[in-house]
Amino acid sequence: MDKTKRAWVHLGMIRAIGPIRLKALLGLFRSPERILKASSEELMKAKGISASVAAKIVAQRDEAPVDQEIGSIEKNNVTIITIDDAAYPYLLKNIYDPPFILYVKGALIPEDILSVAIVGTRNPTVYGKEQAEKFGYELSMAGITVVSGFARGIDTAAHKGAIKAGGRTIAVLGSGFDHIYPPENERLFDEVCARGAVISEYPMCMGPLRQNFPLRNRIISGLSRGVCVVEAGTRSGALITAAFARDEGREVFSLPGRVDSANSRGTLSLIQEGAKLVQGVQDIIDELGGVSSSNGDSFLKMAAPPVALEGDEQKIFECLGESQVHIDDIDEQVRIGINKVAHSLVRLQLRGLVKELPGKKYIRVSCR
């Protein structure tokens, strides 16, 4: 591991430095190496760094078992991605307080920009578990990466649905990789790594502390263009994820449930507050195809840079125009099979380039 990456890992072990404080420190010192060499007095020159905070930073910096951490990272084949790296997820980088270091096992790819999070209670009903797996499966079949928090219940079902479809899924941990939680998901952990990625902002040795999980939720929403809540009580952490999504201008979807069920109180309240009621995956696809954030910046612009059209998607886009074209006619022109045509059309809808009309007809939304 090179010196700069090692310095980032070292900074990540200093719990007194969060994303906001790091911004201030980098603004002053310009590099992680210089932050690590700074004295308490020098650290205090950064905005928001008081004498007590500076003292904590110095103490934690000197006590951090960096060699042990590096050894664990290398032993477990974990990749370190910093906020300065080109591989850092584009959508996550655009939230208010992105983590400055990500521990990754598996692989993050540019196509993950078409991601939807599925979250909910750890104690779902049979209906909730079935729907989470169904939505995970169908989103994955549509070529969308499924993001969730690896927790028991809804999260686990969503990951399993995506894996069953043979698609991509990303799990965000509330602990370090030395403490996979919950322990019964050890096999699922390996499957997610093989079909996508498991990520954490926490050092390898960090346990699953209660206070980690609310912060973890901002990463789940930050990686996603929308968050779908499937069963959540009034105190569910899934509502925190939905709140992060709303604050960042991401779309919030909610699956309705029984009005007399405690597991539906959170999802129903989200609908009352303006979340999009969804009955199926197509509702999510339709909404994200033309969604704009609350501050007026189009997600189409945000999603465009990392992924260019190529192959089947480019062929299909070229055969569309201002006139409606039936899916069968598209298939006749590109000759790749109706299933591949349908799959590519969904991805084009999510990028806001194509709109589906009644009768399985399609039309261009914008010109490249």
The domain segmentation of the chain, as residue ranges, is 1-64, 92-96+103-288, 308-364
Mean pLDDT, residues 88-104: 93
Residue 322's pLDDT is 72
At the topology level, CATH places domain 92-96+103-288 in Rossmann fold (3.40.50)
What is the maximum span of the chain, computed from C-alpha positions, in angstroms? 71
pLDDT at 81 over 80: yes
- Residue 242's pLDDT is what? 95
Confidence (pLDDT) at 321: 77
Residues in the chain: 368
Q: Which fold has domain 308-364?
A: Arc Repressor Mutant, subunit A (1.10.10)
Query: Residue 291: pLDDT above 50?
Result: no
Instruction: Label residue 60 by pLDDT band (50, 70, 90).
Output: very high
Please compute the mean of the pLDDT values over residues 242-267 and round it to a whole number.
Answer: 93
pLDDT at 301 exceeding the cut of 80: no
Mean pLDDT of the chain: 89
pLDDT at 297: 40
Confidence of residue 41 (pLDDT cuts 50, 70, 90): very high
293: nearest Cα among 352, 367, 225: 225
Residue 225 has pLDDT above 90, yes or no: yes
Angular region, 335: left φ>0, alpha ψ -120 to 50, beta rest = left
H or E element at residue 242: helix 237-247
Q: Which residue has the tokens 């200093």?
A: 14
More confident residue, 333 or 173: 173
pTM of the model: 0.82
User: Tell me, what's the pLDDT at 366?
Assistant: 56
| Residues of the chain above pLDDT 70, percent | 94
Q: Which pLDDT does position 8 carry in this prediction? A: 94
CATH C-level class of 1-64:
mainly alpha
Crossing angle of the two packed helices 338-350 and 281-288, in degrees rounded to 10 = 50
Following CA atoms 212, 213, 216, 217 in sequence, which dihedral angle do they give, to the nearest 10 degrees? -150
